[in-house]
Amino acid sequence: MENNQHELYEYARRRMRQKKLLYFHFILFFVGSLFFLLIHRVIIPDFYPETHWDLWAIVVWAFLFVLHFIRVFITDSFMNKNWERAQIDRLVAKQERKMQQLQSKIDNDSENNTF
């Protein structure tokens, strides 16, 4: 029972850390976006004004943030330890079935080739 409690605690701690890093990423994204806009629009307005590099940087960073969000709240929520164990058990069972089939085929071939 203690091992199970420890696993649950570690899982909760890992999820809390993931969410904490995601929130930090959002705050950093927000402050960084304001910084990009401030640099391009106010401090150095004539630095490649026709390219809108600040907006491109914000869009790329927003895409990376969305990927991070998907990983934390969508992918990791259903692909957790239980899912991983089930997949491993399924693959091990599949491999054992294949090995049994090969062994039975070898046994049948050896019986047929007996002199």
- Higher per-residue pLDDT: 86 or 35: 35
In which band, very low, low, confident or very high, does the pLDDT at 106 lie, cut at 50, 70 and 90?
A: confident
Domain boundaries, the chain: 2-112
| pLDDT attached to residue 115 | 55
Q: 45: which DSSP letter?
A: T
End-to-end Cα separation, the chain, in angstroms = 58
Residue 1 in this model has a pLDDT that exceeds 60 = no
Sign of the dihedral through C-alpha 86, 89, 93, 99: positive
C-alpha 42/C-alpha 58 separation (Å) is 16
**Average pLDDT estimate for 86-106:** 90
- pLDDT tens by residue, 41-93: 888 777 777 788 889 999 999 999 999 999 998 887 777 777 888 888 899 99
Say how many C-beta atoms besides its own lie within 10 A of residue 36's C-beta: 17
Query: Which of 4-8, 18-22, 37-41 is least confident?
Result: 4-8
